[in-house]
């Protein structure tokens, strides 16, 4: 991921975590070795390539990690998660879950890596540093087979999912601006 | 009469482990460990540029990203006989050690301590008494009465909401929980403090690895960190001073909290030094090379036969033939097939990854993990193997921390606890803490070595690789937090022809091998007591003591595959 675009470098931002400044995070999670499982990571890569990020918004490729992300997710006013979600809909369906619906998302095991992220969010709750607002944008997978490319229906859903992410960020006060030469 | 219990975890992406046990007369009589996820990363790598393999393999798993990156470049460098610059070696060592310390702290406090600590019991604790006890054992500044009172208050608020969050999968009030309320309160307080401390280790990995999760700085031939004594955009002395500050904080916590807590918990559960022995053939890789070729190491490793430190064979270099020739993998009980037939055991250079799924067959195939052996025998890997190998090699700091820990346990428990107690479930936890103390000292030393080398004017970090025509074979090994990891690559005309990863959890969680001999988890679980069959806390204690790649969120299913509700709220 390009470090120069926006603020996608936790290495530098780690020490600037504070409870006063407004901070938002767009987090892509998933395993890019399992085809559609990596759609969350692919989505944030697309956004980073095509848009300029507003101040205070950090974009993270969380991969399949958990506790390593704790500090980056503390004291957020907005957390938007891009993820692969298994909810029994047609492959490529885009689902948006907000606040109250998010814990249910984790309880019903819709996503293969929800445990790690659920642990992080529960820990943030316990230490009183949970995000004020959380939105999950999920894409229903077709294939979780070993491979590094997305299936056709999921690829076709990328624009809709990206729009949903941009919408969620804009509603939370983080408007994205398209780069002149969008990738 | 025996009863079958199936413990099947949530489908986390890393290490989907299922454990089946047959319980007879309150003890485990038979066990099966089954990896529930097909890991075909080896097949993705075939045909690719060997210089890209590290970036792909580090995505195998969400916990061990850096270890696969490091091991992969070592394998390719080994194939090319490529030496790396000293600075690159030191930077890699700093990342390796900081990652390991992070992993061990998080494993103990956030993933496995809850097997031993009853959070609700902490609500009954007297903070003053807890402080008196904690201060008698350690100089840690976070052991005050006020600190413990604050934690108790936060905990009661949290439990009162009914939103148990991180604690939902714990067996509160289970008869096997034995810590007094004050010790439980101390442990919960340290759980919270460990959350603060783990970030220092993570910051070190972030700064040196340029990004976390998933580091960006390694390369076949060295690292991609430009070094400078003063320029802003690169790794400067100023940033390295910040790293030093975090190392000091880690040292304080590991030595004055983690090592002490392990001893206290061990002393309150002395029976667990007699449980979970299993396989006592151990193997650990040497690591933290002190030169660019991997011929001298700060932390020794090797093979211990029959649990006897006298029967130790040291692994001496990145080109060690004893290790290279000894490893093979079988699939008789795994969901793969070999061209030569499923009774074969193949060396990783000749390894095949061809899936052949059947149902879960007790006597047949039942796991996505292969069964690795060393000269035909299953091994135990991990911090216990590491510590025993370092003791066998006469590594002085390991001897000092291990002895001090056993003495501390003996003095708190009021019984004599010797080295033999290490071959056990609680011994694996103690070994992890001892290894962590050794690692934190080594982290400080590697930092000194890097700065001293930079001070000489050497700022090299990369030797460019070149790929000759023809075939090259390389073995890369790394003593990862969970034990010995090895990557095996066959390169042909600059492209990967074969790639195999033999990972620590595969050694430990292996199914029966081609001779039907059980793997480490399976062997270690036999004779584990089980007080309440549908709350098999004791089984989880032993499995968790290995630090498998899965969280504490383990689902218990009965054989009808209906979920058993096992959350005990106070």
Q: Which residues from chain A sit within 8 angstroms of residue B233, using beta carbons?
A: none
Interface test with A, best of B66, B166, B196, B553 (most A CBs within 10 A): B166
- Contact state of B551 with A3 under an 8 Å Cβ cutoff: no
Residue B16 has a pLDDT of 61
- Residue B64: closest CA among chain A residues belongs to which residue? A65
- A7 lies in a domain? no
Whether cis (ω within 30° of 0) applies to the bond prior to B30 is no
Which residues of chain A lie closer than 8 angstroms to B202, CB-CB? Answer: 14, 68, 71
Is residue A5 included in any domain, yes or no?
no
Chain B residue with CA closest to A67: the answer is: B106
Per CB-CB distance under 8 Å, the chain A contacts of B103 are none
What is the domain extent for residue A52?
24-174
State which residue of chain A sits closest to B151, comparing Cα positions.
A127
Contact B56 A116 (CB under 8 A): no
pLDDT of amino acid B163: 57
Question: Are residues B496 and B41 in contact, defined by beta-carbon separation less than 8 angstroms?
Answer: no
pLDDT score recorded for residue B231: 60
The answer to whether A11 contacts B212, with C-beta atoms less than 8 Å apart, is yes
- Supply B277's token pair: 């022995």
Chain A residues near residue B60 by CB distance under 8 angstroms: 33
Beta-strand ranges (E) seen in B282-408 are 282-284, 287-289, 297-299, 302-304, 312-314, 327-330, 345-346, 371-374
Nearest Cβ partner of B56 from A33, A119, A122? A33
Q: Which residues in A lie closer than 8 A to residue B61 (C-beta atoms)?
A: 64
Selected residue of B163, B214, B225, B481 to mutate for chain A interface (largest A Cβ count, 10 A): B214
- Contact (CB<8Å) A64/B110: no
* pTM for the whole structure: 0.88
Give the Cα separation of A1 and A171 in Å (integer).
Answer: 25
**Number of domains chain A contains:** 1
Q: How many CB pairs under 8 A join A and B?
A: 114
Find the residue in B nearest to A119 (Cα). Answer: B166
**Chain B environment of A66 (Cβ under 8 Å):** 62-63, 551
Establish if A6 belongs to a structural domain.
Answer: no
Distance from CA of A26 to the nearest CA of B (A): 15
Asked if B63 is an interface residue toward chain A (Cβ–Cβ < 8 A), one would say yes
Q: What is the per-residue pLDDT for B557? A: 26
Please tell me the distance in Å from A171's CA to the nearest CA on chain B. Answer: 28
Closest chain B CA to residue A9: B211
Classify residue A183: in a domain, yes or no.
no
Return the pLDDT at A8: 36
Burial environment of residue B310 by CB neighbours within 10 A (0 to 12, 13 to 18, 19 or more): exposed
Q: Which residues of B touch A14 (CB under 8 A)?
A: 199, 202-203, 206
Cα separation, B53 vs B74, in Å, equals: 11
DSSP per-residue codes, B170-208: --TT-TT----HHHHHHHHHHHHHHHHHHHHHHHHHHHH
Residue A137 lies in a domain: yes
Which chain A residues are Cβ-neighbours of B198 within 8 angstroms? 67, 70
Comparing A56 with A119, which gets the higher pLDDT? A56
- Length of chain B equals 570
Return all residues near A42 (Cβ < 8 A) that are at least 6 apart: A28, A32, A150, A158
| Distance (Å) from the alpha carbon of B540 to chain A's nearest alpha carbon | 17
Residue A101 pLDDT: 77
Whether B11 sits inside 8 A of A112 (CB atoms) is yes
* Interval A100-122 mean pLDDT: 62
Residues of A whose CB is below 8 A from B59: 31-33, 63-64
Of B40, B214, B553, the CB nearest to A146: B40
Residues of chain A in Cβ contact (below 8 Å) with chain B = 1, 3, 9-11, 14-15, 31-34, 37, 61-71, 109, 112-116, 118-119, 122-123, 125-128, 146-148
Instruction: Please judge whether A146 and B203 are an interchain contact, meaning their C-beta atoms are less than 8 angstroms apart.
Output: no
Q: What are the strands, taking DSSP E only, across B392-494?
A: 471-480, 483-492
Q: pLDDT tens track of chain B, all 570 residues?
A: 688 888 775 232 244 678 889 999 999 999 998 876 656 677 889 999 999 999 888 877 655 678 999 999 999 999 999 999 999 999 999 999 999 999 999 889 987 888 899 988 999 999 999 999 999 999 999 999 999 999 999 888 877 665 555 666 567 788 889 999 999 999 999 999 999 999 999 999 988 887 666 778 889 999 988 787 666 556 788 889 999 999 999 999 999 999 999 999 999 999 999 999 999 999 999 999 999 999 999 999 999 999 999 999 999 999 999 999 999 999 999 988 999 999 999 999 998 888 888 888 999 999 888 899 999 999 999 999 999 999 999 999 999 999 999 999 999 999 999 999 999 999 999 999 999 999 999 999 999 999 999 999 999 999 999 999 999 999 999 999 999 999 999 999 999 999 988 888 889 989 999 999 999 999 999 999 998 887 888 888 898 898 876 422 222 222 223 333 232 222
How many Å from the N-terminal Cα to the C-terminal Cα in chain B? Answer: 32
Does B299 lie at the interface with A, CB-CB under 8 angstroms?
Answer: no
Tell me whether residue A17 is in a domain: no
**Residue A9 domain-assigned?**
no
At residue A177, the 3 state secondary structure works out as strand
**Closest Cα of chain A to B65: distance in Å?**
9
Chain A residues whose beta carbon lies within 8 Å of the beta carbon of residue B199: 14, 70-71
B348 touches chain A (CB under 8 A): no
Which of chain B's residues have a Cβ under 8 Å away from the Cβ of A37? 13
ipTM of this complex prediction, to 2 decimal places: 0.73
Tokens of B526: 């036999």
Write down the pLDDT at residue B313: 98
CATH no. for residue A58?
3.40.50.1450
**Rounded Cα–Cα distance for residues B185 and B170 (Å):** 16
- B residues 24-43 closer than 8 Å to A (CB): 38-41, 43
The nearest CA of chain B is from the CA of A32 a distance in Å of 7
In angstroms, the separation between the Cα of residue A1 and the nearest Cα of chain B is: 9
A118 vs B contacts (CB less than 8 Å):
553
B309 close to A (CB below 8 A): no
Per-residue model confidence (pLDDT) at position B57: 85
Percent of chain A with pLDDT over 70: 79
Task: Pick the closest to residue B288 from B386, B399, B380 (CA basis).
Answer: B386
- Taking CB atoms and an 8 Å cutoff, what residues of chain B touch A33? 41, 44, 56, 59-60
Identify the closest residue of chain B to A7 by CA–CA distance.
B211
Instruction: Count CB-CB contacts under 10 A for residue B29.
Output: 14
Residues of A in contact with B210 (CB under 8 A): 3, 9, 11
pLDDT at B10: 29
**Tokens 């010790």, located at residue:** B183
| Å between B44 CA and nearest CA of chain A | 6
> CB–CB of B381/B483 below 8 Å?
yes
CB-closest option in A63, A122, A146 to B213: A63
Q: Are B202 and B247 in contact (CB under 8 A)?
A: no
Lowest mean pLDDT among A8-17, A85-94, B516-525: A8-17
- Residue A147 distance to chain B (closest CA, Å): 6
Handedness of CA B248, B228, B208, B429 (dihedral sign): negative
Domain assignment present for A98: yes
Over residues A124-163, the pLDDT tens digits come to 888 889 999 999 999 998 987 778 899 999 999 999 999 9
> Residue B349 and residue B327: Cα distance in Å, rounded?
10
């Amino acid at each position: 991921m390009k470090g120069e675009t926006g603020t996608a470098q936790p290495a530098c931002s780690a020490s600037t975590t504070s409870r006063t400044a407004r901070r938002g995070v767009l987090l892509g999670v998933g395993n890019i070795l399992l085809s559609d499982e990596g759609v969350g990571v692919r989505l944030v890569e697309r956004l980073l390539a095509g848009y300029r990020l507003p101040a205070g918004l950090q974009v993270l490729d969380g991969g399949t990690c958990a506790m390593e992300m704790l500090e980056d997710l503390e004291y957020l006013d907005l957390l938007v998660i891009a993820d692969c979600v298994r909810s029994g809909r047609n492959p490529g369906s885009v689902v948006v879950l907000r606040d109250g619906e998010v814990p249910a998302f984790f309880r019903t095991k819709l996503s293969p890596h929800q445990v790690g992220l659920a642990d992080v969010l529960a820990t943030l709750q316990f230490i009183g540093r949970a995000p004020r607002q959380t939105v999950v944008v999920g894409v229903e997978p077709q294939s979780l087979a070993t491979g590094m490319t997305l299936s056709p229906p999921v690829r076709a859903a990328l624009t809709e999912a990206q729009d949903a992410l941009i919408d969620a960020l804009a509603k939370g006060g983080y408007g994205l601006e398209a780069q002149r030469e969008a990738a | 009469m025996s009863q079958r219990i199936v413990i099947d975890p949530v489908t986390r992406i890393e290490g989907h482990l299922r454990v089946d046990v047959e319980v007879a007369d309150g003890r485990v009589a038979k066990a099966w460990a089954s990896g529930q996820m097909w890991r075909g990363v080896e097949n993705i790598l075939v045909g690719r540029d060997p210089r890209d393999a590290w970036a792909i393999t580090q995505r195998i798993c969400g916990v061990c990203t850096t270890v696969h990156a490091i091991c992969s470049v070592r394998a390719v460098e080994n194939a090319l006989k490529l030496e790396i610059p000293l600075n690159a070696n030191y930077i890699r060592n700093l990342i390796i050690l900081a990652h390991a310390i992070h992993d061990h702290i998080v494993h103990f406090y956030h993933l496995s301590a809850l097997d031993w600590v009853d959070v609700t019991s902490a609500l009954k604790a007297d903070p003053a008494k807890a402080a008196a006890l904690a201060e008698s054992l350690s100089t840690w500044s976070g052991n005050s009465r006020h600190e413990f009172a604050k934690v108790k208050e936060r905990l009661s608020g949290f439990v009162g909401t009914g939103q148990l969050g991180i604690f939902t999968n714990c067996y509160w009030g289970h008869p096997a929980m034995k810590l007094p309320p004050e010790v439980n309160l101390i442990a919960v307080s340290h759980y919270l403090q460990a959350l603060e401390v783990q970030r220092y280790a993570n910051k070190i990995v972030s700064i040196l690895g340029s990004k976390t999760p998933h580091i960006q700085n390694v390369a076949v031939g060295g690292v991609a960190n430009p070094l400078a004594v003063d320029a802003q955009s690169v790794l400067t002395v100023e940033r390295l001073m910040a790293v030093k500050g975090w190392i000091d904080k880690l040292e304080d916590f590991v030595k004055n909290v983690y090592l002490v807590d392990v001893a206290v918990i061990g002393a309150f559960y002395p029976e667990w030094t007699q449980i979970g022995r299993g396989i006592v053939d151990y193997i650990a890789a040497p690591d933290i090379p002190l030169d660019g070729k991997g011929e001298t190491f700060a932390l020794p490793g090797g093979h211990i036969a029959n649990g006897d430190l006298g029967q130790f064979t040291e692994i001496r270099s990145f080109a060690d033939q004893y290790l290279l020739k000894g490893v093979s993998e079988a699939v008789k009980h795994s969901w793969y097939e070999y061209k030569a037939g499923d009774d074969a055991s193949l060396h990783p250079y000749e390894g095949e990854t061809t899936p052949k799924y059947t149902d879960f067959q007790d006597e047949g195939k039942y796991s996505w993990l292969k069964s690795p052996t060393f000269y035909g025998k299953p091994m135990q890997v991990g911090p216990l193997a590491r510590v025993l190998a370092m003791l066998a090699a006469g590594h002085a700091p390991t001897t000092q921390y291990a002895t001090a820990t056993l003495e501390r346990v003996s003095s708190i428990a009021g019984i004599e606890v010797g080295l033999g107690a290490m071959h056990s479930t609680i011994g694996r936890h103690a070994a992890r803490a001892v290894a962590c103390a050794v690692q934190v000292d080594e982290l400080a030393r590697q930092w000194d070595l890097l700065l001293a080398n930079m001070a000489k004017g050497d700022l090299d970090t990369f030797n460019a690789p070149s790929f000759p025509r023809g075939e090259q074979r390389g073995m890369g090994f790394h003593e990862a937090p969970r034990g010995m990891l090895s990557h095996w690559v066959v390169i042909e005309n600059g492209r990967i022809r074969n790639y195999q990863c033999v990972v620590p959890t595969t050694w430990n969680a292996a199914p029966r091998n081609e001779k039907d001999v059980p793997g480490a988890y399976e062997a270690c679980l036999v004779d584990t007591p089980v007080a309440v069959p549908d709350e098999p806390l004791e089984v989880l204690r032993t499995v968790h003591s290995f630090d498998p790649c899965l969280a504490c969120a383990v689902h218990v299913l009965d054989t009808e595959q209906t979920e058993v509700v096992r959350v005990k709220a106070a």
